[in-house]
Amino acid sequence: MDKLSVIGLGKLGACSAACFASKGFEVIGVDINKQFVDAINNDCAPVYEPRLQELINLSKGKLSATQDYERAIRETEITFLIVPTPSRHDGHFSDKFLKDVLKHLSDALKKINKKYHLFVITSTVSPGTTEENLIPLIEHHSEKKLNKDFGVCYNPEFIALGNVITDSLNPDMVLIGESNKFAGNKLEEIYKVVCENDPYIARMSIISAEITKISLNSYITMKVSFANTLANICEAISNANIDDITKALGADKRISPYYLKGGLSYGGPCFPRDNRAFAAFAQRYGVDAKLAKTTDEVNKFQINHLVDLVLKNIPNNESVISVLGLAYKPNTPVIEESPAIKLTEELLRKGLKIIVYDPLAMDNVRSHFGDTVLYASSVKDCFNNASLCIITTQADEFKDIDESCVINNSTTIIDCWRILHPEKFNDKVKYIALGKAIRLGEQ
């Protein structure tokens, strides 16, 4: 079995390293963050992600970490690069961290006498980056030749935070952009061991794989925005039910049911910026990606739409509002581009007092908002202290909300994903669901 190294032990890298190690590969992780390196060496997950700790426990003796890039070249055959590629102002991804890492690795490759090394770029990059910037940099610093002394693959992941391990072990598709067949074959062999299903392995040129990666996410955001627009329309029509409609639409194979629910905006570290990067990439080639740009506008509009709904439904003389769910989705502490964070910021700007609660994201929320908001310790705490409560994620803990949580004499609930059962509430509750015209308990 090839020995593998993974550079970047963050939200995605730690999970990839643990997946490889749990399938028997010897894996060396490299990170500039000493805490993450120490965590791995103490068999602890450096970041929160469901099942990550379980896989690290399964990988004892196979997974170690270091801050020394040279070990990755000296002791392993294949190196995965999973470091941040932050968005630039023009929408393209910065390849600054990838270049930093590749300089170190290429210097090591120059020094160390070995027959071949495979570099696998997993970070999301703007199309063109690998062949225009990264491969020339490796050749320059290592003084070695592509496809003779080293190979390069572009191999992004299509995982969802909160489900990274399961998605990585059971992907619909493994995308491999390859500098030549030998490089692609080597990488495919790894996935044959790691995947627990039998996914489609899509092999192609590096540039095609780079385009595929951002096209896929841009397409999904378009689908989400379509469903959100449908939900807005349904709100204006009594008897129209968004969930019945999207279920039927999704049953058609040409559409499929995923990411077609209708509710709040998409957010997180990938969708918003991948969609903008798609538009920036199109523009570079003289194409106006109107669909991607409009998708972004629709997504921003969804927040304003919710803010309007909240403002229209604030009970008389009431200025405390509770936001339940601050992460951009359930099962993750990540608040990057979270619609609930944007909602809270907007409501704070309107002068309202906000009390917030999230099952996993409270530390991140505290660092973001400091003392500008109030912090609840439970769902009940939210309902005790506010008479308008907004449920923004489909967290399991929120699905159990029923009449026993409602203490105030009149409480308004805005349920962004229709996860509650309005029939469980008596008429002191005004229940509003995005996507539905139902207004139970309305006076």
Q: How far is the CB of 106 from ligand NAD (least distance, A)?
A: 13
Residues 102-141, mask of contacts with ligand NAD (x by CB under 6 A): ---------------------xx-----------------
Query: Judged by CB under 6 A, which stretch of 94-102, 107-115, 145-153, 233-241 contacts ligand NAD?
Result: 94-102
Among 19, 45, 56, 83, which residue sits at the site for ligand NAD (rule: CB under 6 A)? 83
> Is residue 12 a contact residue for ligand NAD (CB under 6 A)?
yes
Q: What are phi and psi of 176, to 5 degrees?
A: -125, 110
Q: How far is the CB of 157 from ligand NAD (least distance, A)?
A: 5
Looking at the DSSP bridge assignments, the partners of residue 388 are 321, 412
Coil vs helix vs strand at 437: coil
- Considering beta carbons, is residue 12 or 433 the nearer one to ligand NAD? 12
> Is residue 13 a contact residue for ligand NAD (CB under 6 A)?
yes
Q: Where are the alpha helices (DSSP H) in 335-403?
A: 339-349, 362-369, 379-385, 396-399
Coil vs helix vs strand at 434: coil
Rounded Cα–Cα distance for residues 152 and 183 (Å): 7
Rounded Cα–Cα distance for residues 373 and 385 (Å): 13
What residue type is 219 in one-letter code?
A: Y
Question: Cβ(214)–Cβ(277) under 8 Å?
Answer: yes
- Considering beta carbons, is residue 156 or 184 the nearer one to ligand NAD? 156
Looking at the DSSP bridge assignments, the partners of residue 356 are 323, 375
Q: Where are the alpha helices (DSSP H) in 23-131?
A: 34-41, 52-58, 69-75, 96-111, 129
Rounded Cα–Cα distance for residues 379 and 359 (Å): 9
Q: How far is the CB of 197 from ligand NAD (least distance, A)?
A: 19
Cα dihedral 347, 349, 353, 354, rounded to 10, equals 40
Q: What are phi and psi of 167, to 5 degrees?
A: -65, -40
- Considering beta carbons, is residue 5 or 411 the nearer one to ligand NAD? 5
> Is residue 175 a contact residue for ligand NAD (CB under 6 A)?
no
> Is residue 330 a contact residue for ligand NAD (CB under 6 A)?
no
> Is residue 91 a contact residue for ligand NAD (CB under 6 A)?
no
Residues 359-378, mask of contacts with ligand NAD (x by CB under 6 A): --------------------
**Is 270 annotated as catalytic?**
yes
Copy the structure tokens of residue 13.
């890298």
Rounded Cα–Cα distance for residues 146 and 191 (Å): 23
Count of residues that bind ligand NAD according to CB under 6 A: 27
Among 49, 157, 178, 337, which residue sits at the site for ligand NAD (rule: CB under 6 A)? 157
Query: Judged by CB under 6 A, which stretch of 78-86, 130-138, 230-238, 246-254 contacts ligand NAD?
Result: 78-86
Query: Judged by CB under 6 A, which stretch of 76-84, 232-240, 318-326, 403-411 contacts ligand NAD?
Result: 76-84
Looking at the DSSP bridge assignments, the partners of residue 153 are 120, 178
Rounded Cα–Cα distance for residues 105 and 150 (Å): 12
E-strand spans in 401-440?
Answer: 411-415, 429-433, 439-440
Residues 233-272, mask of contacts with ligand NAD (x by CB under 6 A): ------------------------------------xx--
Q: How far is the CB of 80 from ligand NAD (least distance, A)?
A: 10
> Is residue 10 a contact residue for ligand NAD (CB under 6 A)?
yes
Q: How far is the CB of 45 from ligand NAD (least distance, A)?
A: 12
Closest residue by Cα to residue 123 from 150, 146, 154, 99: 154
Question: Cβ(302)–Cβ(328) under 8 Å?
Answer: no
Query: Judged by CB under 6 A, which stretch of 7-15, 137-145, 259-267, 374-382 contacts ligand NAD?
Result: 7-15
Query: Judged by CB under 6 A, which stretch of 77-85, 190-198, 227-235, 398-406 contacts ligand NAD?
Result: 77-85
Q: How far is the CB of 83 from ligand NAD (least distance, A)?
A: 4
Query: Judged by CB under 6 A, which stretch of 30-38, 185-193, 298-306, 364-372 contacts ligand NAD?
Result: 30-38
Q: How far is the CB of 8 from ligand NAD (least distance, A)?
A: 3
In the set 15, 270, 382, 389, the catalytic residue is: 270
Who contacts 75 (Cβ-Cβ below 8 Å, separation ≥6)?
A: 3, 5, 28
Copy the structure tokens of residue 72.
């990755």
Question: Interface residues with ligand NAD (CB under 6 A)?
Answer: 7-13, 30-33, 36, 82-85, 97, 100-101, 123-124, 156-157, 159, 161, 269-270
Active site residues: 270
